[in-house]
Structure 1
Amino acid sequence: MNHLLNSMTPASLGYASLMFVSFMAAMFLGTIFLPGKVYASCLQPNNTRKSYKLNGLLLFMITTFSVVAFTLLFHFSLASLSNYFWSLFIVANLFAFTLTGILYVKRRGIKGGDIQQQSLVKIFSDLWFGVELNPTWLGVNLKMFAYQPSLIGLGLLNASFAYVQYEKYSEITLQMWMFQVFWWLYLATHYYYEEFMLSTWDIIAEKFGFMLVWGDLVLVPFFYSIIGWYLVDAIAPMSVSSVVAISLLYLVGLTIFRDANAQKHRFKKNPKVTIWGQPAQALEGKLLISGWWGVGRKLNYSGEICVYLALALTTGFDSIIPYLLPLWLCVLLPHRAWRDEQRCQAKYGNLWDAYCAKVRFRMLPFMY
């Protein structure tokens, strides 16, 4: 990566700015004009429901087929995304800081508040956590929209490593193909089940401040693509047993992750839903104890960690750096699980204690 750091110039930053702004504009316009089904969210903290037009799957598929078509017909290459990686990283950070500032000033202006009278601690807290739950521009909910440039941008960055490898070695290795297929399936299933995002804590209760803005536009695309760097030069053959084992780990993890979230979402929409062939069971009709939620309280997080571990394993064991991503999630997700359970304890009280007694394990059955 050192040569990429050395290649940063005013010209490269200008070109990266053009790429970034054009991409953001394309995502935003696609969100506005592409058709999509309208869904109602879960109850918001003020006991209201918002409506969301969801067209992420169509936007993702159009992006995918456009890249494939331009590559086959016009020899289009995504390698420039890798070449301008650090310039794009700087531009994305500047955009995140600017957007956070605009959201803060706009909301404070609406409230008529005097920013100068706010304490520094209050200003920092409002900038970090946000001051508005659902900021909307031109009819687009910005918090939900941020997932489009975040995840589709991540997909494009990941795909760029395959282009770099092919241009460098005139081949795409099996492990690189695994990396590409794994990520495409992850993103495709996310958008296929995009409605499930409406029942997540981020959408229901988190305000849209720097924490979410930076996480979506910088952390996810630029950190979650770290594994790709180590696959470009990983051209040694991978054994069949390794391919099978890694693929099984990935498929098991993805199945648990998506299916657990699907069960929870379906139950929230209809408590009489069928799960694993049986009517859903819940404590007092509130806390689901069927399916994965009867095995562990946060198995969806366990499945997600398995997915990212499988992605890292495609690089082999020559460097610890690709494993920073699953290691990061091994810290982030247990902490998030703990925070979720603190909120559930405060909300449900003794009923939550009964649920924990019924479903003893959090993320690892018989262990944790």
Structure 2
Amino acid sequence: MPAETKSIWDHVQPISIDALTKTSGYLLSYLVCLFLASRFLPSIEAKSPKKTYQLTGLLIYLLLTVLIPIGYYTKKLSLLFIVENYVSFFIVINIFAILFSFYLFKRSAAVRAAPNANRPIDYWHGREKDPMLFGVDLKVFFYQPSLLGLALVNLALAEAQITYHGGLTPGMICYQLFWYFYLLTHYIREDFMLWTFDIIEDHFGFMLVWGDMIYVPFLYSIAGWFVADNYREPLSIPWVIGTLLLHFIGHYIFRESNWQKFDVRKYGPQVTIWGKKAQLLEGKLLISGFWGIGRHLNYTGEILLYLSIALCSGTLSFVPYILPFSLLILLSQRASRDDQRCRKKYGDKTWNRYCSIAKFRMIPFIY
């Protein structure tokens, strides 16, 4: 164990012109490489309800899965600069989000699409739904620096724990596995996102740019800082086993429930769910798989997934638990609003029949 046992955060360098300049170079190089990969790597054709996309996310992710371990093994790669320049990255990426959103607002195609848009709210939401640049759909592209950025931050925190605290703890190993498989399952069914509200309906402006570039990689990696510093009291074997079970149960419910509904929307009721042909109540409401058990079990799985990630930090701090518990509150309220909206959409009679089959909103026998 190294003599120095400071917090990982103590190794973050202060803001300086030199640090901001270096991080700007790192960011631009990262974005350019990902953009070129999205443009020229072999792609998978995928359709949404409105257009056809060329997706390269899975190939990029698999390439990084191979190249990053090779880089570490040959000692040609270190990601510690991400941790050491964390605050500088935060500032630079915020500036980038502001400036790039201004570009999106002012570029000629955007002006033609909405010539009278000149309010802050239009800058926030964006003028165009599907801005293109050199044949790349920018709204879909920005998922790559967002999710891969999260992966790189997480790996940098693992490297920091090895460098500053002498090795990987069981909590950090679980944390890395959880996020790796979370991103892998996202990319295996990358076409799922093409059917989400963000892609189909939202315009592309500051809200989504900032969400992609700041919210996901910085907020979702907060737990990793506490996992990295929890080296004095490693997680017990029962804690690790319980966390692993919770994660994979939650992960399965989250992905499988979303995919079940997605497959029916995309391919129709002829799809198979759990070995049987999908069933729809009155041809409208899916009552097969998880959707015949509960009305919003996808929310339940999502909460369990993020709770398991927070549990990787042990009891070092309450901060990692803010995300899962805030999601519990927000998604519980959303589930209630979804029920009200669906009752209005399908009518009392149909919705009551559905509720008699899928008896629970999120938690069987409780809620």
Q: Tell me the TM-score normalised to structure 1 length.
A: 0.90
Q: Distance in 1 between matches of 2:239 and 2:353?
A: 42
Candidates 302, 305, 319, aligned match of 1:304: 302
Candidates 97, 120, 123, aligned match of 1:124: 120
Give 1:68's aligned amino acid: P
Identity %: 43
Give 1:38's aligned amino acid: E
> Deviation string for 1:167-203 (max 9, x for gaps)?
1123111111111111101111110111111222222
TM-align CA RMSD: 2.1
SS in 1 for 2:291: helix
Alignment check: 8 A CA contact 1:108 1:114 kept: no
Q: 1:317 and 1:360, CA in 2 relative to 1: closer, same or farther beyond 3 A? A: same
Alignment check: 8 A CA contact 1:297 1:362 kept: yes
Q: 2:58: which partner in 1?
A: 57
Q: 1:134 and 1:111, CA in 2 relative to 1: closer, same or farther beyond 3 A? A: closer
Q: Distance in 2 between matches of 1:330 and 1:2?
A: 28
Q: 2:324: which partner in 1?
A: 326
Give 1:35's aligned amino acid: P
Deviation at 1:240, TM superposition (A): 1.2
Q: 1:198: which partner in 2?
A: 194
Q: 2:204: which partner in 1?
A: 208
| Alignment pair present for 1:365 and 2:364 | yes
Give 2:358's aligned amino acid: V
Q: 1:240: which partner in 2?
A: 237
Matches within 5 A, 1:40-51: 40-42=47-49, 49-51=50-52
Deviation at 1:362, TM superposition (A): 1.9
Q: 1:270: which partner in 2?
A: 268
Q: 2:138: which partner in 1?
A: 142
Q: 1:337 and 1:32, CA in 2 relative to 1: closer, same or farther beyond 3 A? A: farther
Deviation at 1:62, TM superposition (A): 1.0
Candidates 35, 44, 52, aligned match of 1:37: 44
Deviates further, 6-15 or 332-341: 332-341
Deviates further, 195-204 or 223-232: 195-204
Q: 1:98: which partner in 2?
A: 99
Give 1:293's aligned amino acid: W
> Deviation string for 1:271-300 (max 9, x for gaps)?
111111221111232221111111122211
Q: 2:253: which partner in 1?
A: 256
Give 1:220's aligned amino acid: V
| Alignment pair present for 1:11 and 2:7 | no
Q: Distance in 1 between matches of 2:142 and 2:280?
A: 33
| Alignment pair present for 1:181 and 2:187 | no
Give 2:309's aligned amino acid: L
Q: 2:5: which partner in 1?
A: none
Deviates further, 334-343 or 201-210: 334-343
| Structure 1 unmatched ranges of 5 or more | 43-48
Q: Distance in 2 between matches of 1:307 and 1:54?
A: 26
Alignment check: 8 A CA contact 1:4 1:84 kept: no
Aligned pair count reads 356
Q: Distance in 2 between matches of 1:70 and 1:209?
A: 36
Q: 1:224 and 1:139, CA in 2 relative to 1: closer, same or farther beyond 3 A? A: same
Give 2:269's aligned amino acid: P
Deviates further, 221-230 or 328-337: 328-337
Alignment check: 8 A CA contact 2:12 2:83 kept: no
Alignment check: 8 A CA contact 2:149 2:217 kept: yes
| Structure 2 unmatched ranges of 5 or more | 1-7
Q: Distance in 1 between matches of 2:257 and 2:164?
A: 41
SS in 1 for 2:46: strand
